Amino acid sequence: MAANEEEIVMTPSKKGKATRIKIERKRRKELDPTQIAHEAGGQHKGLVVGKDIGEDKDDASPQLQLEFKCWLEDAKSGMHIPEGRLIKFWFVDTASYLDRVTTAYEFFRDLVQPHDFPRDYVGFIKKCMKLMQNPMYSQARKVDIELKPLDEEEAPMSPGGEFLVEVGQGLQKVDKRSDEEIAREKVLTTLETAYPNVLSVDDIVQMTSVDTGLVSMVLDELKTKSLIVQMDQGSWMRQVHKDAKTEVKVVKQMPIIQRAQQPTIAIITSNYYEKIAVDSMMEEKTTFMRYKGTGGESNVYTLGYIGEHRVVSTKLPMIGHSRAAKISTGNTTTRLLGTFAQVDHVMLVGCGGGVPHFTDFYKHCRLGDVVISTPNQKGYMYIYCDKVVQDKDNQVQYTLKSWSPHDLLLQRISEQMKEQFEANPDVRPWDVCIEEGLQLLGTQEQDFSRPPASSDKLFMNVGGSDVIEVGHPPAPENDKLYKADAPDHSFWHHRVRAPGRCQRLFTPGLCVPS
C-alpha cells in the first residue's frame, strides 16, 4: 500500500543562469532512494527533496505557464535585485482547457497571497510543494519554477523613489524627467482634456499643481510650437493641427446644414486623441468650432463621410465622475442631437481599460486590442456603475444602469470580419483600416504608431495595495491561429462595456503601457 502512496518530489537543477525547481507527483515505488536528499515528516509528510541534478536538459513545452517579476532585498547591503520567476504547469490527461486555466490561476493566487507570501527561496519552494499537496490542485501533474536574475531594462516597476508618477490604479513608477518636461506634459494634457473649452492660467495652475511661473513659461513654449492658441481674456485652448483635407471654421452659431448633408451617425469621444483618430477616417470633412469664452459651453463638430455614411464626431469637454462632468456631458450630447436631428445611430468610440485574465489567453485583453460592445446573456451591452459604497459589514454595494442596442448590425459586421480572419489567418480586414489610419495620422505632431509589445505591462493585485508584475498568458501550443504573432497584432473581442466606477469592482489586475 505504501508503495502506491503519492509523494510530492522537488528536484533542483540549473538551466543557464536560471535556477530550476521541478515539483512533480510520484508514486513511492517510482522513487530512487539514491537520489533522495531529504524526506520531510510530521505536518510536512509526503514532501521529498531530491538531489541537485546539475544542468537540466529537459525542455518539454509546458501546457500553461505564468510569469511574474519581483524585487529581492539583500539583507546585508539593502540593495534591491530584480528577479523573474516563471511557473510552468503540466496537467493530468483528463484535465480540460477550462480545468487547466482555472487550476493554474488559483494556484498562482494562493502562492502570492500577501499575508503569507514567502520572503525567501526556501519558503517559496516549500509553499509550492504544500500547494501541490492540496486536493484542489490534484489536476496539476508537474510544476516547474525558474528563478532568473534580470537585467536593469527587464526590471519591474521600482520599489521606491522620490519622483513617482501614477501609471495605473494603485501603481507608480520613478519619473526621471526634468520638472520642465513633467510640467509641459501636465499642461498640454489638461488643455486636451478641456478641449474644446478654454482654460485660464489660474485654472491650469489649480488643476496641475504647477508653479504659476513655470506654467506661463510652458504655455509660451507650446504656443511657439503651434500646439495651443491664446483666446480672449488670456485664456488658452488646444489647437488642432490642420491638414490639407480638413477645413476648420470658428462660428458663433452652427450654420444650417442642408437635409441631404445631415449626418445619420454620431460618434462621441471623450479624449482629444480619440477624436483625432476618428476624424482621420473621414473624407470631405469640415470642422466647426462653436467657441464660447466663458461658461465652458464650447462645442466642436467634424462632419464628413466614412464610406457612404454621413458622420459627425464630437468630443466631451469634461471627463470624470463629478456632478459637473455629468452635467457637461449631458449638455454636449443634448446639443449634438438637437443640432443634427437626422442622427439615427450614436457610437461611443475610444480607449478603455481591459480586465485581464492571467491564465486564459482567450479571455485576456492586451494593450492595442479592439473591443466591440456585445450583449451579455441578459441582452445588456453597456453597463454603467454609478455608485459604489461599503456598508457597515464591509460588504460592497453598487448601483448599475444597463442599456441594450436597438439592433446588432455593428456586431454582426464585426463577427463577419472575425470569421474571415479565423478562416484565413493571413487576412486581417481591420489591419487594412489601421494602416490607412496611421498613414493619414502621419501629418499630426503626435506619433500614433503601435507601441512595442514590450511596453505592454500586466500587473496583478494580490491584496490591498500590493501588486506584482506578471507575464501575459501565451496562446496554447496547439493554437496555430493566434500563436505566431499574438503580441504584435490587435485582436478583436466581443464583450460588454462597463464604464463608470467599475474599476473599483474589478481588482484582479490591470494592463498599463510602460
* pLDDT range class, residue 484, cuts 50, 70, 90: low
Of 153-162, 408-417, 441-450, the least confident = 153-162
- Count of the separate structural domains present in the chain: 4
DSSP 97-119: HHHHHHHHHHHHHHHT-GGG--S
Residues 497, 386: one domain? Answer: yes
For residues 342 and 404, membership in a common domain is answered with: no
Least confident of 136-140, 150-154, 270-274: 150-154
| Domain assignment present for 356 | no
Instruction: Say whether both 31 and 70 belong to one domain.
Output: yes
Q: How far apart are CA 252 and CA 271, in angstroms?
A: 23
Residue partners of 224: CB distance under 8 A and separation at least 6: none
Give the pLDDT score at 58: 64
pLDDT band at 130 (very low <50, low <70, confident <90, very high): very high
Q: What is the pLDDT of residue 513?
A: 41
**CATH number of the CATH domain containing 327:** 3.40.50.1580
Least confident of 280-289, 335-344, 453-462, 497-506: 497-506
Average pLDDT over residues 76-96: 84
Confidence of residue 491 (pLDDT cuts 50, 70, 90): confident
Of 150-159, 308-317, 413-422, which range is least confident?
150-159
pLDDT of residue 179: 82
Domain boundary (301, 322, 351) is at 351
d(Cα 275, Cα 47) in Å, to the nearest integer?
Answer: 60
Beta bridge partners of 236: 199, 230
**Cell numbers for 501:** 466606477
Same domain, 320 and 382: no
Residues 184 and 281 in one domain: no
Least trusted range by pLDDT, from 176-180, 262-266, 481-485, 509-513: 509-513
Q: Does the structure show a pLDDT above 50 at 512?
A: no
Kindly state whether residues 337 and 373 are assigned to the same domain.
Answer: no
pLDDT of residue 450: 80
Are 366 and 507 part of one and the same domain?
A: yes
Q: Which residue has the higher pLDDT, 432 or 463?
A: 432
Q: What is the pLDDT of residue 466?
A: 62
* 177 and 117 within one domain: no
* CATH number of domain containing 189: 1.10.10.10
pLDDT tens for each residue of 216-236: 999 999 999 888 988 877 889
Residues 139 and 277 in one domain: no
Q: Tell me, what amino acid is at 247?
A: E
pLDDT reported for residue 448? 84
Q: Let me know whether 137 and 165 are in one domain.
A: no
310 occurs within a structural domain: yes
Given a cut of 90, whether residue 325 has pLDDT beyond it is: no
C-alpha angle 389-395-400 in degrees, rounded to nearest 5:
50
Q: Provide the residue range defining the domain that includes 417.
A: 361-513
Of the three residues 351, 385, 418, the one that is the final residue of a domain is 351
pLDDT at 461 over 90: no
**To the nearest whole number, what is the mean pLDDT of the chain?**
81
Residues 189 and 288 in one domain: no
Q: Which pLDDT score, from 0 to 100, does residue 161 have?
A: 38
Written in H, E and C, the secondary structure of 351-413 is CCCCCCCCCCHHHCCCCCCEEEECCCCCCCCEEEEEEEEECCCCCEEEEEEEECCCCCHHHHH
Read off the C-alpha cell for 196.
474644446
pTM over 0.85: no
For residues 312 and 390, state if they share a domain: no
Last residue of a domain, one of 154, 185, 218: 154
From the list 194, 211, 227, the residue with the least C-alpha distance to 297 is 194
Out of 117-126, 138-147, 160-169, 366-375, which region has the weakest mean confidence (pLDDT)? 160-169
The pLDDT of residue 321: 57
Q: Is the predicted pLDDT of residue 363 greater than 60, yes or no?
A: yes
Overall average pLDDT of the 403-431 stretch: 83
Does 486 have pLDDT greater than 90?
no
- pLDDT tens digits, one per residue of 147-179: 888 876 666 665 443 333 444 444 455 567 788
Q: Is residue 82 one of the residues assigned to a domain?
A: yes
* Nearby residues of 265 by Cβ (< 8 Å), 6 or more positions away: 306, 309, 310, 311, 312, 343, 344, 345, 346, 347
pLDDT (average), residues 84-95: 91
For position 266, what pLDDT does the model report?
95
Tens-place pLDDT, residues 57-69: 666 788 888 888 8
In a domain, residue 50? The reply is yes
CB 289 within 8 A of CB 304: no
Q: What is the pLDDT of residue 73?
A: 66
455 is a domain residue? yes
pLDDT at 46 over 50: yes
Counting residues of the chain whose pLDDT is more than 90, the rounded percentage is 19
Task: Tell me what the mean pLDDT of segment 359-377 comes to.
Answer: 85
CB 471 within 8 A of CB 67: yes
Average pLDDT value for residue range 267-273: 92
Specify whether the CB–CB gap between 29 and 21 falls below 8 A: no
Q: For residues 100-112, give the mean pLDDT.
A: 89
